[in-house]
Structure 1
Amino acid sequence: MSFGFSVGDFIAVLDKVEKIRSRFVAAPSQFSALSQEVKNLSNIVRDINDALQIASNFTPRQEEDLRDISQNCQNVLVDLEKTVDENQVLEVRSGNLSSKTVRAWKRLTWEPANVAELRARISSSIGLLTAFNSGITKSITKEDLEATKQAVERLTQHQDDAQRHDIEKWISSDKPSAKQNDIFRRRQEGTGEWLLESPEYRTWYKGEKQTLFCQGIPGAGKTIMSSIVINDLDSTFPAGQSDVGIAFLYCDYKTEKEQSPEFFMASLLSQLLRRQSSLPAFIRDLYQKEKEDLPRPQDIKSALRIVVKTCSRVFIVVDALDECKEADSTRTELLDELFYLRDECGAALFTTSRFHTKDVSSRFHGELGLDIRADDGDIEKFLRGNMGSLREFIQKRPTLQEDIRTAIIASAKGMFLLAKLHLDSLRDKVTPKEVKNALERLPKGSNALNLAYDEAIRRIESQDTGIKELAKKTLSWVVHAKRQLRAAELQHALAVEIKSSVLGIDASHNEIDEKPHLRELDPDNIAEIEDILSACGGLVIIEEETRHVHLVHETTMEYFHQIRDSWLPGTDTEMTVVCLTYLSLDRPEDDPFLGNSEPKHFWGKGETGFADYAAQYWGDHAHDADDTYMQAALDFLCSKKKAKAGLPIFTLDSSGLRRIFEEDTPAFHVITYFELPDLIKPLRTHGLPINAQDEQGWTALSYAAHFGKMTMAKALLAEDGIAPDHKDAIGRTPLFIALMSQHVKLVKVFLQQPGVNPDVSLDDSCGTPLAFAAHRGFLDMFTLLLQNGANPASKNKEGRTPLLIAARGGHVKIVQALLNTGLAKMESGDKNGKTPLMNATERGRIGVVKLLLDAGSNPNTKDKYGWTALFYALNCGQLEISRLLVASKDVDTEARDSLGRTAYDYSYFPPPAVLSETAPMYNRRSSLSDNTN
């Protein structure tokens, strides 16, 4: 509206109506007619208010009419409110715990004349408003309605998009498109066409075969080929075609620590969902139900299968199965699920692997296959496309360029990687003769790749001292880093200046003169990433989208592992000191490392630093370092900077991202987490208390128990003054913590330690360690506790014994073990008198019921309500147990509870025949009326 009388003025009328209408709630019956008139007035005012939000143009006459009608309404409402005030009083009403003041109607009757007048005035206002509403409704244009509709749709779409983003992020944080874009960008234009035009690919693409398994030698270009296939599928079936699913996985040795079956399945599911126009309802329901936690692996797997089945076609591309880690059965589980998606859900699989990866090749035996190799035409295209990277004199000599192409193609033997390395080897040549001599020396044969790497190392060593040292330090970080480094992290790591006395080495470009304290990172010491990559002679590359820095190929990593001791000695020691030095630097006050939500620990602005990596992994590097790192570690751990720099530390476990250390975590906890026992005595020498506690009352020994750090636990227990039975804030000892974390070997170590009480009891319902093991069914640890004197007759605060707890859980072997002790009391009930037999019966643990009955448990024992086991069996619908009990000659089927009822009066089963074969008396149910007097 664009006139003087604003929408806000009319909203005031609406508010006044609603306020008065609310006061007519619970009004005496004589006011019902007036109350109805107020309700009618409220409805028409609401209608007009809605129309005002849509309408865009009004005539001057309409503006004037609305102003007059609104003022009339205001006058009527003021008089009505005044009359209501005169006929209500304030009363104080008391409840059980408090009192409150409310309005109440007086016990009198209004004057009929007054009521009639008010009703007439309200009716008049309603009439005027209705007429006005009819007029403005007719004046609302189609454009007004369409604009409103579009605004609502935009709002709804925005809300849907926001929730969709949250759901997809909840399912998987993986961003495979960035990897795909980077790899596909590195291909040479026009290469790989032979694969897309091959009969094998066309057969697979058309759906005549559901699997295409491609093998190749290292460096043949398998990963590039996978990216070409993914791009071809995306181009053929664009994202708008939501009934066709496309998903892919790049297995990568560089991210082995993050690889898991759950990670892979979640990534596939997330990719398939992104292609759909809207998320399935069951996915939204799952998110609403579980969004406070990470999705469960079984839910992800089930959802993935459902989504694949609902698509008309699904293509799944998996590159480098040989790089998927094998040690913990990740690769086996991935292959199992891929074949299930193919065989049961109809997915089409395109996979690549090195030749002779035994467990992979055997799984694809008999499937449609195709060998990947770089054909000469593709290598020639690559060389032509990259000839411009060589020196200017080569650009001026077409004949020399042809010689280069001919020699490299002959030497590469179908290996793109080797062609790249050979081309890189020519970049430092300054005359045609040097180029020709290099071409004559190009390595050939089975060892050609290693010889090419040897040549790359020779070129690095021949560079100027500063460039050579930069290359060697870069390669040290890239090869030995515990995870992939971002470019900014690498730049900061290389910029750290360490004191020569720390490592006992001669001064070099990255060291500083002796100074009592290092204050901050010198920005003038940070090298440009382009210069860093150039120094490494083509062995290190950067992903443009993610800014991750890594070696050019997996075989490059294999090569450096072979020469690390001779070419990069002492790497982990220096890396440890660099991390600790960096963490000891001053940092800006606005450093996001102070945040609590995610591990964005970077010195400087944004993601431009190295603190996250340094805090997470300095201890891992220290494992492989020599003793010269220890002074830097002690300086760091004993300084106040530790609280502000090295902590908190985050880690990933089954519950997702969580904090390991808070900022005031004691130093002993830190070295326990990293398992650095050699620092125990030096820290004690510096006066740090070995039994220091964190905010939850945990000592370093508690941390060792929780994280399963056996070496640290033994080292700590060997120290004088250690408290092996220390209780945390809720009463848990290291023994209890090790038990809860399922570290069997540590439980055994603690039980053998003098002064450790196996019967320590928590204040909550857990009870003793034996009771907790019985509850969780931890048989091995339960047996250890029994063997080391744990009391089988202990009770928790609910009065439950370990036998009762094991019976509830259906843990037959633990029940048997307790019965074998002769000390467990079968008739010992909880605080309500429910025995182990009753608990097992109620929960349907038929194996335990049989075991207890055979051991002599009394089925006629009653709880505090007079119920026996038969009551629980019938009431809970346990048919087999009911039959088992009724068939027992010792069971009193006529037993009555405290209300005089029998078990059959509470039966879940309809009478009369469910138990008739074994209990004929069940046909005559007792009469409630006969037994409740």
Structure 2
Amino acid sequence: MSFGYSIGDFITIIRIAKDLHRRFREVPQQFSDIAKDLDSLRVLLQETYQKLPDHDTTPSQEQSLISIVGGCRSVFDELNGLLDKSNVNDQDSSRVRTWWKRVRWDKDKIGDFRQRLGLHVDILSTFLTHLNTGTIGQLKVNIDDIQSRGEAQERRQYNERLATWFSIVDFSTQQADFIFRRQEGTGKWFLNSPNYQQWITEPGKVILCTGNPGVGKTIIASLVIESVQELCRADDNMTFAFLYLSYQPQQRQTIRDLGCIVRQLIRCSESVPGDIQTLFDHHDRRKSLPSIADLSKALKAAVAARSRVFIVVDALDEYYSSSPSELEGFLSTLLHIQKESSLSLLATSRPLPDITSRFQGSLRQWIRANDDDLRMYIESRSPSLLRNRIANYPDLQDLVNNKVFTAADGIFFMLKLLMNSLNEKLTPGNLKRALQNLPCGDAGLEKLYDQAMSRIHSQPCDSKELAMKVLSWLVHAQLALPLEALLDSLAIEPGTVEIDRDFCPPVESIVSVCAGLTTFDEHSKTLRLVHKTTEEYFTQNWRLHFPEAHAFITDACLAYMSLDHFSAGACKDIYEYFRCLEQYPLYSYATVNWVYHANMAEKFPGFSLAFLQTPSENLSACAQFFIRRLDPWIDIGSFRSVRGVHLAALLKFPQILEDMIAAGQSPESEDGGGRRPLWYAVCNDRVEIVDLLLRKYQVDPNRSCGTDEPVLCLATERQSANVVKALLADPRIDPNVGGFRERL
């Protein structure tokens, strides 16, 4: 072994592998696979060291082995460095578990180390195979092939992590659904219009497509996206991105939707621009998210990397955000980048002044349902009238076509509702009478919704009850629920100890009992209200149709959180955490949003107070999910001994907290992670609870709450200005505590 790697060097690398494996003893479950990979690599290194002196190798083969062993050393050094940074020490066995609880590596980092360790296991296994079979001459080719495949896989994994870091939102399922629903031939008039032709052929153009509710703006957007996709498929130097904004999104829409655009643009590229990689690497090391300025820079870099970029944004008017400034910031950033590049931007919206004023000097296209498209839709639906017997009455069929076309008045969605209302007529006489009284215009749309609700109320009791439950969730849920979560919400009842999915109704039954007010998206597997105007109707009329909706939803959330499964307490590790989300799909929504629904109920529900008095294990599980939404890096295993006084501090009802304390719970009570009610209040920006704890109960504001930093520093990091002000108003506060001044 005289080829540049001495016996001493080999012994050193084997010793490092052994020591590193020892440091991984008694690891939590999520790190155990790394420990196994380390042991496999150590065994292979030992075997290579023992067998190599008995074989003749060429200088190039020896150089390959030097490279392999050097790669192993690089991975080992990086692992040791991270463990040193996390203060994981193998000398004191009594504290090994405690040290490991401090280690916060995300799933991607663990996967990255496993991939790199596995690659070296494969390479060394190949090396030993050639030694044992005498085919050492083929070694370099095989190792190069393994390394090449490993590098390609590593690049793909890196690019996927990078893209996901910018956004996890994917609109491809919506696009597939709209294409599926679109009537063949619909929208050709738009693609042939002069304004669209100018936009598609001249780089750097902006076009705003406006139209009244229900005229088919989203269908037009899907047609444009499909057309642009075909254009980009023929030219690798072109790319595109699109957003379907919604009044009821699965992810809350904010200015960070810029990240979704960046994600689409870079996922279509074989190579990611260097500026974007640098930005990602910088934040990846710090486990931080991109700022708005970062997203803007990344979008500029992604646009500059191609000769032509198209962006389509549908339904700006349905932008769902916490404040109007979100939409303003989104448009300002997008339009600013467009002016400095050849970006082609197309957006659709209702004709709202706050939106149209931002598109001064842009191309404009008014969207109104085309007469040919309307008649095509009527002709496709009319044969099913009178239980498929209308063909026996040709004059009546012509009357339907003409009357419905006139009443729709160019509104495609109203056309659909009109046909739905006629579909239930069983006799020619009833159909003729309905045609004489067809609703039309805005008042007619509301009348159609009233008629749909009348049909729901006239159903048998079970069907009516199911429809009202479904509509309550679809109208009031803070985010669109996945189908599995919605079905669980319909199956759960107060007092249930385990979810019985035999009580989950079929999707077809749900759509049927809701009288055309809901639609099921086959591609994204979500049930939603059929249109934005449907949501607007219920916003105005929900107290008339289901005044107890928020109380019902609160009941369902609390019943779900009280299931026997959660009496075992909080999840012990990240894998159990995600398994829980898969097994109980409503739990994440219930834990995060039950407070909102309880607050929106006419009176604060008494069952909420009863839940806060349940055993600590259920409360610990609830707190774990709620707080991890606020701080995803928090130690997942530290949620034990959570009491009602802790969760009450998350609410904005001081009386509830006072009731908990009056019942004997201490305002200084600590959970399993050492967190007090004051920490919970600060973490959820509850300034009124912070005031109550400081002034009435005189809790210590300088005392740390389960972390190495006092609550003043926590509030500063969370940029909670009102909470910081409330804390500084307390004369006992030490403004120098925990380096507070340095963080300002």
TM range, smaller chain? 0.7 to 0.9
Q: CA deviation at 1:147?
A: 8.1
Tell me if structure 2 keeps the 8 A contact 1:216–1:353. yes
TM-score, normalised by the number of residues in structure 1: 0.62
- Over 3 Å counting, the alpha-carbon distance change for 1:353 and 1:152 in structure 2 is same
Residues 118-267 of structure 1: pairs in structure 2 closer than 5 A: 153-207=148-202, 210-238=205-233, 241-255=235-249, 258-261=252-255, 263-267=256-260
What is the alpha-carbon distance in structure 1 between the residues aligned to residue 674 and residue 585 of structure 2? 33
Tell me the amino acid that sits aligned with residue 630 of structure 1: G
Tell me if structure 2 keeps the 8 A contact 1:479–1:560. yes
The residue that corresponds to 2:450 in the other structure is 454
1:563 correspondence with 2:541: yes
Q: CA deviation at 1:676?
A: 2.9
- Aligned match of 1:491 in 484, 487, 493? 487
Count of aligned pairs? 633
Residues 888-927 of structure 1: pairs in structure 2 closer than 5 A: none
Tell me the amino acid that sits aligned with residue 276 of structure 2: I
The residue that corresponds to 1:381 in the other structure is 376
Q: CA deviation at 1:268?
A: 1.0
Q: Give per-residue Cα distances to partners, 1:764-817, cap 9 Å, x unaligned.
A: 5x2xxxxx34x345xxxxxxxxxxxxxxxxxxxxxxxxxxxxxxxxxxxxxxxx
Tell me the amino acid that sits aligned with residue 243 of structure 2: L
Tell me if structure 2 keeps the 8 A contact 1:247–1:315. yes
The residue that corresponds to 2:317 in the other structure is 322
> In percent, how many aligned pairs have the same letter?
29
- The answer to which structure has the higher helix fraction is 2
- Over 3 Å counting, the alpha-carbon distance change for 1:580 and 1:650 in structure 2 is closer
What is the alpha-carbon distance in structure 1 between the residues aligned to residue 604 and residue 568 of structure 2? 34
Tell me the amino acid that sits aligned with residue 556 of structure 2: V
SS of 1:647's equivalent in the other structure is helix
What is the alpha-carbon distance in structure 2 between the residues aligned to residue 166 and residue 662 of structure 1? 28
What is the alpha-carbon distance in structure 1 between the residues aligned to residue 723 and residue 567 of structure 2? 42
Residues 710-749 of structure 1: pairs in structure 2 closer than 5 A: 710-717=687-694, 719=696, 721-725=697-701, 727-728=703-704, 738=715, 741-749=718-726
Indicate the RMSD between aligned Cα atoms, in angstroms.
3.8
- Over 3 Å counting, the alpha-carbon distance change for 1:738 and 1:317 in structure 2 is closer
Q: CA deviation at 1:685?
A: 4.4
SS of 1:634's equivalent in the other structure is helix
What is the alpha-carbon distance in structure 2 between the residues aligned to residue 454 and residue 547 of structure 1? 28
- Over 3 Å counting, the alpha-carbon distance change for 1:244 and 1:760 in structure 2 is closer
What is the alpha-carbon distance in structure 2 between the residues aligned to residue 748 and residue 49 of structure 1? 66
> Highest CA radius of gyration, 1 or 2?
1
The residue that corresponds to 2:624 in the other structure is 648
Q: Give per-residue Cα distances to partners, 1:815-859, cap 9 Å, x unaligned.
A: xxxxxxxxxxxxxxxxxxxxxxxxxxxxxxxxxxxxxxxxxxxxx
Residues 506-525 of structure 1: pairs in structure 2 closer than 5 A: 518-525=496-503
SS of 1:295's equivalent in the other structure is coil
What is the alpha-carbon distance in structure 2 between the residues aligned to residue 222 and residue 293 of structure 1? 37
- Over 3 Å counting, the alpha-carbon distance change for 1:366 and 1:731 in structure 2 is closer
- Aligned match of 2:561 in 579, 583, 590? 583
The residue that corresponds to 1:470 in the other structure is 466
Tell me if structure 2 keeps the 8 A contact 1:673–1:707. yes
- Over 3 Å counting, the alpha-carbon distance change for 1:286 and 1:571 in structure 2 is same
The residue that corresponds to 1:573 in the other structure is 551
SS of 1:424's equivalent in the other structure is helix
- Aligned match of 1:359 in 348, 354, 358? 354
Q: CA deviation at 1:732?
A: 6.0
- Over 3 Å counting, the alpha-carbon distance change for 1:744 and 1:311 in structure 2 is closer
What is the alpha-carbon distance in structure 1 between the residues aligned to residue 573 and residue 674 of structure 2? 24
1:757 correspondence with 2:732: yes
The residue that corresponds to 2:273 in the other structure is 280
SS of 1:254's equivalent in the other structure is coil
- Over 3 Å counting, the alpha-carbon distance change for 1:20 and 1:323 in structure 2 is closer
The residue that corresponds to 2:685 in the other structure is 708
Residues 336-351 of structure 1: pairs in structure 2 closer than 5 A: 336-351=332-347
What is the alpha-carbon distance in structure 1 between the residues aligned to residue 640 and residue 537 of structure 2? 41
Tell me if structure 1 keeps the 8 A contact 2:715–2:724. yes
Residues 540-551 of structure 1: pairs in structure 2 closer than 5 A: 540-551=518-529
What is the alpha-carbon distance in structure 1 between the residues aligned to residue 674 and residue 146 of structure 2? 55
- Aligned match of 2:593 in 594, 610, 617? 617
Tell me if structure 2 keeps the 8 A contact 1:584–1:641. no
What is the alpha-carbon distance in structure 1 between the residues aligned to residue 8 and residue 728 of structure 2? 73
What is the alpha-carbon distance in structure 2 between the residues aligned to residue 748 and residue 305 of structure 1? 38
TM-score, normalised by the number of residues in structure 2: 0.76
Q: CA deviation at 1:696?
A: 5.0
Q: Give per-residue Cα distances to partners, 1:664-687, cap 9 Å, x unaligned.
A: 333222122232323224323443
- Over 3 Å counting, the alpha-carbon distance change for 1:752 and 1:348 in structure 2 is closer
What is the alpha-carbon distance in structure 1 between the residues aligned to residue 401 and residue 633 of structure 2? 51
Tell me if structure 2 keeps the 8 A contact 1:456–1:537. yes
What is the alpha-carbon distance in structure 1 between the residues aligned to residue 218 and residue 634 of structure 2? 34
What is the alpha-carbon distance in structure 1 between the residues aligned to residue 454 and residue 614 of structure 2? 43
Tell me the amino acid that sits aligned with residue 454 of structure 2: R
What is the alpha-carbon distance in structure 1 between the residues aligned to residue 631 and residue 604 of structure 2? 37
The residue that corresponds to 2:510 in the other structure is 532
Q: Give per-residue Cα distances to partners, 1:194-248, cap 9 Å, x unaligned.
A: 111111111111117701111000111111111110011101221x733102011
- Over 3 Å counting, the alpha-carbon distance change for 1:199 and 1:590 in structure 2 is farther
Q: Give per-residue Cα distances to partners, 1:485-530, cap 9 Å, x unaligned.
A: 11111111111223xxxxxxxxxxxxxxxxxx54222333221122
- Over 3 Å counting, the alpha-carbon distance change for 1:636 and 1:436 in structure 2 is farther
Tell me the amino acid that sits aligned with residue 712 of structure 1: I
Q: CA deviation at 1:349?
A: 1.0
- Over 3 Å counting, the alpha-carbon distance change for 1:481 and 1:659 in structure 2 is farther
- Over 3 Å counting, the alpha-carbon distance change for 1:220 and 1:343 in structure 2 is same
- Over 3 Å counting, the alpha-carbon distance change for 1:45 and 1:209 in structure 2 is closer
What is the alpha-carbon distance in structure 2 between the residues aligned to residue 733 and residue 404 of structure 1? 72
Tell me if structure 2 keeps the 8 A contact 1:592–1:601. no
- Over 3 Å counting, the alpha-carbon distance change for 1:137 and 1:607 in structure 2 is closer
What is the alpha-carbon distance in structure 2 between the residues aligned to residue 401 and residue 608 of structure 1? 50
Q: Quick one: higher RCO (CA 8 Å, sep 6+), 1 or 2?
A: 2
1:269 correspondence with 2:274: no
What is the alpha-carbon distance in structure 2 between the residues aligned to residue 696 and residue 760 of structure 1? 25
Tell me if structure 2 keeps the 8 A contact 1:487–1:549. yes
Tell me if structure 2 keeps the 8 A contact 1:467–1:535. yes
What is the alpha-carbon distance in structure 1 between the residues aligned to residue 64 and residue 685 of structure 2? 68
What is the alpha-carbon distance in structure 2 between the residues aligned to residue 285 and residue 366 of structure 1? 36
Q: Give per-residue Cα distances to partners, 1:241-288, cap 9 Å, x unaligned.
A: 331020112222213972222x22211111111221222344334333
What is the alpha-carbon distance in structure 2 between the residues aligned to residue 429 and residue 227 of structure 1? 33
What is the alpha-carbon distance in structure 2 between the residues aligned to residue 539 and residue 472 of structure 1? 11
Structure 1 alignment gaps of length 5 or more:
1-12, 24-38, 53-132, 499-516, 767-771, 778-933
What is the alpha-carbon distance in structure 1 between the residues aligned to residue 158 and residue 478 of structure 2? 35
What is the alpha-carbon distance in structure 1 between the residues aligned to residue 399 and residue 59 of structure 2? 86
- Over 3 Å counting, the alpha-carbon distance change for 1:601 and 1:377 in structure 2 is farther
1:682 correspondence with 2:659: yes
SS of 1:311's equivalent in the other structure is coil
Residues 827-838 of structure 1: pairs in structure 2 closer than 5 A: none
Tell me if structure 2 keeps the 8 A contact 1:630–1:679. no
Q: CA deviation at 1:458?
A: 1.4
SS of 2:402's equivalent in the other structure is helix
